[in-house]
Amino acid sequence: MRSVVISGTGLYQPPFTITNAELVESFNRYVDLQNAQHAEAIAAGERAPLVHSSVEFIEKASGIKQRYVLDKAGVLDPTRMYPRLTERPDGELSLMAEIAVDAARQALAAAGKTGADVDAVYCAAANMQRAYPAMAVEIQQALGAKGYGFDMNVACSSATFAIEQAVNAVRCGSAQCVLVVNPEITSAHLEWKDRDCHFIFGDVCTAVLIEAADTCTAPERWEVLGTKLVTQFSNAIRNNFGFLNRSEDSDPNARDKTFRQEGRKVFKEVVPMAAAHIEAHLGSLQMAPTDVSRYWLHQANLGMNQLIIKKLVGGEVGGDVAPLILDEFANTASAGSVIAFHKHRQGLSAGELGVICSFGAGYSIGSVVVKKQ
């Protein structure tokens, strides 16, 4: 079977950061405004008062300390509480395409390639800017890539699911070099007014270049030994925003039109699923979890990652085995595990093993087992 490698990665990092302290200050101002506006209903017992958030609550619940965003002012405006982005004309490069091209060019440079060397582009993200034309095709054109492109969405597992499609395309010969980009503008679908989740997400874009080992000229390469995907339906993480909303005459600002989750249920159900998935994947390759030198896991919750690793290796491990980027970037949907791989793959020697794994809405879990060349 044809050997396939990851030959380059890229990371677009937005220009603005929001610390937990800044976020809490803005959120609490919003709470005070809402409670004052609805004081009579609250006093009458018709409406429950909103509750303040705190830095301590956020860090204990998630491990997040800050996040990067494309717009800071709109998010922190207590009368708005979502980003303020400028609509672009059709003839101008779209926002998602712009950040994807930035990350893609970094990945191409790392691999010693140009856009002309790419013959497939997969744009995989939790939310797409539009229905059509496909974001991937616009990115393909901007990079001068050949072949074809398409969009795909498997929520927080979009990147790993796309990597499997890319690996399979190269193995079967339908493509020689595939670019996977993950432009995650999560600030636009996060409900910043909800205390239980207002701190979760941040914006970012990652890129991964997948190519045949025999055409790879990159100074660093990671052989893909196997990929494994699984889905199991759950409503525990959901967003009902879509093109049918208008025809349903539903409220476009209703709570179900942005991100929502049953956090405790997700934690309880996904942790054992993810640990079992990784262990089974490694077992199919005649490997054990303790054979793996580094795990680049989905970055959603510190406690979740710690428990998954504990189930796999039977004890506590440090950041050298399961690196964390969650504290700096927050949850970046499908890009999280790729950011961890991009920033924390140094120090491994030739022959050492690693696992890139994501898990999220669906439920969906995707894992990629790699070996340093």
Please tell me the distance from the alpha carbon of residue 60 to that of residue 210, in angstroms, as a whole number: 37
The residues facing 121 across adjacent strands are 149, 179
Please tell me the distance from the alpha carbon of residue 340 to that of residue 316, in angstroms, as a whole number: 19
DSSP code at position 215: G
DSSP code at position 235: S
* Helix and strand counts by DSSP (H, E) for the chain: 11, 13
Please tell me the distance from the alpha carbon of residue 149 to that of residue 180, in angstroms, as a whole number: 10
Residues forming the active site: 156
Beta strands in 104-236 (DSSP E): 120-124, 148-152, 177-184, 204-212, 222-231
Neighbour tally for 222: CB within 10 Å: 23
Please tell me the distance from the alpha carbon of residue 269 to that of residue 337, in angstroms, as a whole number: 20
Please tell me the distance from the alpha carbon of residue 231 to that of residue 221, in angstroms, as a whole number: 29
Neighbour tally for 315: CB within 10 Å: 7
